[in-house]
Structure 1
Amino acid sequence: MATKQLNTSVDKALYDRLDRLATRTGRSRSHYASEFIERGLNDLEDHYLLKDALEEFHASDEDSIAHEDVDWDSLGR
């Protein structure tokens, strides 16, 4: 996988926590920073895509279906 470098600053307490985790597990600080960015980005994308979809739904004036009225067994078939 091609990679690009990203430089950022964090406060000392966060840096120290990251350093302790890296030392304890034998992985690099960069490994955990990259993992954290990926997980956080996934969460943020989900949040904002859902927020936008909900706003779009509310603006559409479409009818909703109550959760208990959904035939869950027929979905995906």
Structure 2
Amino acid sequence: MKVLDLKKSLKEIVEEHPEVLDIMKELGFNEIVKPGMINTVGRVMTIPKGALMRGIDLDKIKETFKSKGFEIKD
């Protein structure tokens, strides 16, 4: 089981699970997949912070990751 720790930065999560970037794009986080963004913004950005900034429901994000085989750790 793949674990998605929502306290980790997006950069840390993507280093562990590169497929997270595609899922994030699918959810509407188009900016983070641009070259260089994961190494700059991704160092300090968490998924909950990004959800708040983009106005994307965190529960929807959690459900999407669960449907793709992730266990969510808050």
Same fold (TM over 0.5): no
Give TM-score scaled by structure 1 length.
0.30
Task: Pick the structure with greater CA Rg.
Answer: 1
Give TM-score scaled by structure 2 length.
0.31
Larger proportion of strand: 2
Work out which structure has the larger RCO, using CA pairs closer than 8 Å and 6 or more positions apart in sequence.
2
Larger proportion of helix: 1
